[in-house]
Structures are given as structure tokens and as C-alpha cells.
Amino acid sequence: MNAMSLPRRRIGPLDVSAIGLGCMSLSENYGAPPSPEVAEAVLLRALDLGIDYFDTAALYGFGENEALLGRVLKPHRGRIVLASKCGVTGVDGRRVVDNRPETLRRTCEESLRRLRTDVIDLYYLHRLDRRVPIEDSVGALADLVRAGKIRCIGVSEMSAATLRRAHAVHPVAAVQSEYSLWTREPEIAVFDACRELGAAFVAFSPLARSFLTGALYDPAAQFEPGDIRLGMPRFQPANFCTNLALLEPYRQIAAEAGCSMAQLALAWVLAKAPFIVPITGTKNPRHLEESVGAAAVSLTPEIVTRLDRLINQRTVAGHRYNETTQKDIDTETFDAA
């Protein structure tokens, strides 16, 4: 298998492709997951295209996603960077946030078995458990580093203040949160903390959950039952209708830049800072080919500025999450307009 060459970026000591693959949709949350054969094809196509950063979690499919990656990627383990997450798991069919040290140690052993590896390159604390001091949770992860079970520590959906507390216990290699033209919260404080501490920022949903591809026109008709976007405010009818008006000028900028709308979204994320690594997710191998093409798109400062002005927290209708989901999120938020 001869992989294509992609630009490189750093996550702590790890050298990774500038665009990674988020694997959640291969097991859950965006309608019915693909067949095992299609899921395997997506993973192997990613390797062909030069992607070597693969992102999963114990939560995804309640372990099924890690098992998928373990089965398909074990023969290629020496050439990939494998990231997973702990602290949120499935218990009796329910999603449970549990950052107690004993839980993190047990979850790591379970993940290692499913992933069919001796060490996880980057291990994130998936969500903040407000009942457990972050120092205790990161201390347990530091023990796993010393034991050789994991190489680097990351945190997910956490604020700059929490990041600094975590980093004081053990260096944090990466922060993972949602970031795209329509989700700008990391710009409030987390980016500055990443620069200060030397942490990478891994951006999930850089295509705004497919909104910025231009392929969505009616969520109620297009989304399958079980699609998490059906419960997100920005995809509710009134908000979505308002947000659709942003896409025609966005489409025109993509045409000027000589790329697709999806590529423009990824190129914008890549252009914002060299410490950002976007991870794209898909159930379609062909969509990966389009996404990887974003690495070759060079945006002028003028285009970046126009995009910043067109789509941002002031021009997008609807909150990022509903009120129930937002309670689990530690990141900074913009003041209500």
C-alpha cells in the first residue's frame, strides 16, 4: 500500500498527517453505521490517502469503534498514530461520565485489548467529571504514561482554566474540541492556552457537521433516525433556514479559491494556526478524497478574513448544543447576543 504524502503537523512528540480521521460515525450518532465492509474500506482508504492519525473513543459504539480499528488497523500499527478517549463509557446501555482514577485505569486496559495494541499514542480525558478533581484524573493518566500504556495525554471539550490545571500535573499534548467557521469557542481562550503550553489543538467537526459541504437542505428529510444533529439547535427548522442563507456567498468564495465547499472549510481551519489538526469524519471513502484535497488549498489572508466575517458566532443562528448536552461541556461560551 503506497500512501500519498500529506503535510505534517505536531501533537506533542507525535508527527501526524495535517488532516486526521475521526472515526465516530463508523459506529454511531449519524444515522445507521455503515456495514463492516464499508467501514473497513473507509479506514484503508484513509491510509491510502496519507492519513495516519486515527481518532476513536471507548464511548463510540460502546467499544465497537475501538474494536473495528483494532481489527482493521493492527497490520498497519507501526505507521499510524492511534488516539482514543476515556472518562465516558457505556454502562448498561447508558452514557456515563466517570473520571475516577480506578475507572480510567480499567478503561485503558479494555481499550488496549479492543485496539489490539500494547500502547495508545494519545489518550484523551473525554469529558470533565465535575465530581472528580482534574488533578486526580490526570494523575491517573500520568501513571499510565509511566507504565508504558499510553504515550501522551490529551483533554477533550475543556476550558483554558481546566487545561492549565491538567498541564500542571502532567504535560498535555493536545486539546480536542469542536472548531469550524460556525463554532468559534476555542478562539475565546483555549487557543491562547495552547500557544502558552505548547499543546496542539485537534479540531473535530471542521465541516460543521456537513453543513459547510453544501449538501444539506432539509435536516428533517435528510437525516436518519438516531442522527444527533436532529437534536441540535442549529439544525432546527427556523435556525437552519437562517443559516442556509450563508451558504451562497460561501459557495462563491469556494469558487474563487478553486476548491469545493468542504475543502474550503478544512483549508480555513488549517490556515488559522499551525498547531491545529482537523479531523474529518465520513462513512463514504469518496468524501475522504475530497477532504484530503484541502491540504493543497492555499487561502489568501483576504479570503480568510472574508470567511471570518461571513460565518461566525454572530451570524449563525442557534446554539451549538441543546441545554442538556451543554451541561457536560467545560469549554468557554460566547455571551448571548
Q: Tens place of pLDDT for every residue, the chain, 337 residues? A: 346 689 999 999 999 999 999 999 999 999 899 999 999 999 999 999 999 999 999 999 999 999 999 999 999 999 999 999 999 998 888 899 999 999 999 999 999 999 999 999 999 999 999 999 999 999 999 999 999 999 999 999 999 999 999 999 999 999 999 999 999 999 999 999 999 999 999 999 999 999 999 999 999 999 999 899 999 999 999 999 999 999 999 999 999 999 999 999 999 999 999 999 999 999 999 999 999 999 999 999 999 999 999 999 999 999 999 888 888 899 999 975 4
- The answer to whether 79 touches 52, Cβ cutoff 8 Å, is yes
Dmax over CA atoms of the chain, in Å, equals 54
Q: What is the pTM for the complete model shown?
A: 0.96
Report which residue type is found at 103. Answer: T
Burial letters 59-98, b for 16+ CB under 10 A, else e: bbbbbbbbbbbbbbbeeeeeebbbbbbbbbbeeeeeeebb
| Helix %, strand %, coil % of the chain (to 5) | 45, 20, 35
What's the pLDDT at 3?
61
Q: What whole-number distance in Å separates Cα of residue 293 and Cα of residue 257?
A: 13
Catalytic residue, from 30, 53, 60, 179: name it: 60
What's the pLDDT at 337?
46
Task: Take residue 192 and report the three cell numbers written for it.
Answer: 491562547
What's the pLDDT at 336?
54
Q: Rg of the chain over CA atoms, in angstroms?
A: 19
What residues does 124 pair with on adjacent strands? 85, 154
Neighbours of 161 (CB within 10 A): 14
Task: Take residue 259 and report the three cell numbers written for it.
Answer: 476548491
Helix (H) or strand (E) holding 155: strand 150-156
Neighbours of 300 (CB within 10 A): 11
What's the pLDDT at 302?
98
Residue in the block written with cell 476515556: 86
Helix (H) or strand (E) holding 55: strand 53-55
Assess whether 60 carries a catalytic annotation.
Answer: yes
What's the pLDDT at 2?
45
- What domains can be seen in the chain, in order of their start residue? 8-210+263-297 (3.20.20.100)
Sign of torsion, CA 178 181 187 193? Answer: positive
Beta pairing class for 20-22 and 276-280: parallel
